Amino acid sequence: MLEFFDSSCFFGRRSVVNPGSYWTVEELVENMNHFGIKKALVYHSIAKEYNPCIGNRMLMEDISKYPCLYPMWVVMPHHTGEFPEPDELLKQLRQNNVKAVKIFPSIKDHFYSISNWVCGELFSMLEKSGIPLFVGLDQLTWNEIYELCTGFPKLNIVLTDLNYRADRNLYPLLQKFDNLCIETYGYKQHHGIEEICKKFGAGRFIFGSGTPVSSLASAITMINFARISDEEKRMIAYGNLEKLLGGVKYE
């Protein structure tokens, strides 16, 4: 049986309640145990929907008694004084053993440009320290993803919230940029996992479920029944993410 390391979990109260979903950390861990998810990167909904600093602090408090949960902080630019400058942020990431971050720059969320004049210092710090950046396709345009990969070629970028229509833009990006990986749960393309493994290698996938909004059962089924080798399944289920986090050096 495969063990899974989930890169896409969150908990906390949300402004829009999805019927059938849950919101507490206890329910998250209960569902992880039920479906065989051994470890998970998690962020707090308050960090997205209200304030990153407050949400990140709540996250650390709430997961402190759950060794299976690893913190993913929501970050943003520092210029308005709402968020620490990159050097101070790096110290805080090190102190809290945070090895992955997520951004929500779209107009419907935190609303800022990812151009160098806004986020260049932040992305440079992440690139230098090896801390992977998770960002959704619902947050950026394809051109912005291209510019991000081009401007920071050693920044480990994990593109989340894909969809079954992504391939025509996704393939050229994967061909050009070795620093780009994709999360699995939104990529519900017919034989899509098999084709990506064949063309670009299983190392380009990071397992994620999107729980509690998306189905854990669906997420693990996509990997368990993919027509790929057992070694490729292990890479996707946990190996690639462990390797990514293992490269963090806080420098």
Domains in the chain and their CATH numbers? 4-246 (3.20.20.140)
Q: For residue 7, name the pLDDT band (cuts at 50, 70, 90).
A: very high
pLDDT at residue 15 greater than cutoff 90: no
Share of the chain above pLDDT 90, in %: 88
Kindly state the average pLDDT of the residues 16-39: 89
Q: What is the pLDDT of residue 226?
A: 95
Q: What is the pLDDT of residue 167?
A: 94
Q: What is the pLDDT of residue 62?
A: 97
Share of the chain above pLDDT 70, in %: 100
Q: What are phi and psi of 205, to 5 degrees?
A: -105, 140
Q: What is the pLDDT of residue 250?
A: 84
At 61-77, the pLDDT tens digits run 999 999 999 999 999 99
pLDDT at residue 80 greater than cutoff 80: yes
Buried b (16+ CB within 10 A) or exposed e, 89-124: bbeebbeeebbbbbbbbeeebbebebeeebbebbbe
Q: For 214, what's the count of Cα atoms within 13 Å in the CB-facing half-sphere?
A: 20
At 168-184, the pLDDT tens digits run 999 999 999 999 999 99
- pTM recorded for the entire structure: 0.96
As a whole number of angstroms, the distance between CA 85 and CA 76 comes to 10
pLDDT at residue 116 greater than cutoff 90: yes
